[in-house]
Amino acid sequence: MRRALQLAARGPATGPNPRVGCVLLTPDGHVLAEGHHRGAGTAHAEAAALAELAARGAGAAGCTAVVTLEPCTHTGRTGPCAQALLAAGVARVVIADTDPNPTAAGGADLLRRAGVDVEVGLLAEAAHALNERWAAAVARGRPWVTWKFAATLDGRSAAADGTSRWITSAPARADVHRLRAGHDAVLVGTGTALADDPALTVRAADGTGEGGGPQPLRVVAGLRELPAGARLRDGRAELVHVRTRDPHAVLAVLAAREVRTVLLEGGPALAAAFARAGLVDEVVAYLAPALLGAGPAAVADLGVGGIADALRLDLAPGPEAVVRVGEDVRVTARPRARRAVERAPDPSHPPVVEEVARVHRDR
């Protein structure tokens, strides 16, 4: 299973599908074949391992399959893996984590009922950690939301005159590009889009040129129109304008597009709306050692009347929680408890979606 986890980690960390690895073994434990999933539309890990074996003219009859995620039972972009393992005559299947995707789950039971020796839970925690954001998104039917902001030590994201370029130093801004590259979509409100004219693309570390990898989907939420010359309309990455400020409705649009992870980049009003709705899963704050004393805060009114109602966060486990980035400090934390009950979007008010500057996404 450790080997299968290593293989799984080679898969892409973004995109609609999880990272999955598979090792096929002889009954006495010799490796016959390996496989991992390379992204939506390509072979699942089990199918990749079976194909590797078949390419050598060998079969899997009587062998053991070690898989990091429960084999799927559905025909999605590719065929069902549980059935493929059965058809190949696999005698034993060892699974780390169960599949939270209701359409695909049930593989362990299906295999057991067909007489296969099935074991679930080996290194389950490590397997789950590999796809934590994906699993949360699939189980809840809405993307994982990371809220990123940059502020001074006194929590201000702009000066009194509205100027906000640049609060943090170049290394922190380069770090944000790495953060963007780790998400399927980047989201801002129309207020930020109009005030800052951001590109929201992933660019090279020096701030010039494109990063080379797939660009996250650019998403703007809100009612106001984007000017024709907005950098968001430059065609470097796909742009979706969701004409609502309801965070649930925004996430419903993105979920329908199989977006699993969203980086919310502001502004204060949109961030507050997400936080109040209990729709922030992780906070990444870049804090510059500077003071402004006046000017808008990183987040607008959260409806907190007294200190007892503060939205408390827990620092991320491990040394990644607080990191020096250039002259700034990056803090990563997660809300301690949900403040609002999640609800489904109101179907009587479907958000209007405008898609502009569609470019091919190599994902």
Per CB under 5 A, which region of 75-83, 201-209, 225-233, 284-292 contacts Zn ion?
A: 75-83
Of 39 and 326, the one with the shorter C-beta distance to ligand AOF is 39
Pairing of strands 21-25, 31-36: antiparallel
Minimum distance between the CB of residue 88 and ligand AOF, rounded to whole angstroms? 15
User: 43-82 mask for ligand AOF (x: CB under 6 A)?
Assistant: -xx-----------------------x--x---xxx--x-
**Residue 236 binds which entry of ligand AOF, Zn ion, none, CB below 5-8 Å type-dependent:** none
Of 98 and 192, the one with the shorter C-beta distance to Zn ion is 98
Of 107 and 335, the one with the shorter C-beta distance to Zn ion is 107
Candidates 19, 44, 156, 203; binder of Zn ion (CB under 5 A) is 44
**Residue 136 binds which entry of Zn ion, ligand AOF, none, CB below 5-8 Å type-dependent:** none
Candidates 81, 110, 158, 179; binder of Zn ion (CB under 5 A) is 81
Residues 17 and 9 sit within 8 Å (Cβ to Cβ) = no
Interface of this chain with Zn ion, residues 231 to 260, rule: CB under 5 A: none
The 8 Å CB, 24+ separation contacts for 348-351 are 349/244, 349/246, 349/249, 350/249, 351/242, 351/243, 351/244, 351/246, 351/249, 351/250, 351/252, 351/253
Of 104 and 158, the one with the shorter C-beta distance to ligand AOF is 104
Q: Is there a catalytic annotation at residue 258? A: no
**Residue 45 binds which entry of Zn ion, ligand AOF, none, CB below 5-8 Å type-dependent:** ligand AOF
Minimum distance between the CB of residue 92 and ligand AOF, rounded to whole angstroms? 17
Of 11 and 266, the one with the shorter C-beta distance to ligand AOF is 11
Cβ count near 174 (within 10 Å): 17
Minimum distance between the CB of residue 66 and ligand AOF, rounded to whole angstroms? 13
**Residue 76 binds which entry of Zn ion, ligand AOF, none, CB below 5-8 Å type-dependent:** ligand AOF
Of 108 and 220, the one with the shorter C-beta distance to ligand AOF is 108
Let me know how long the chain is.
363
- Catalytic annotation, pick one of 34, 46, 238, 265: 46
Minimum distance between the CB of residue 81 and ligand AOF, rounded to whole angstroms? 6
Examine residue 142 and tell whether it contacts ligand AOF (CB under 6 A).
no
Minimum distance between the CB of residue 50 and ligand AOF, rounded to whole angstroms? 11
Candidates 34, 99, 238, 282; binder of ligand AOF (CB under 6 A) is 99
Q: Could you tell me the two tokens for 162? A: 């509205």
Give the whole-angstrom CA distance, residue 33 versus residue 88.
13
Interface residue list for ligand AOF (CB under 6 A): 17-18, 20, 37, 40, 44-45, 69, 72, 76-78, 81, 99, 101, 104
Question: Catalytic residues, which ones?
Answer: 46
Interface residue list for Zn ion (CB under 5 A): 44, 72, 81
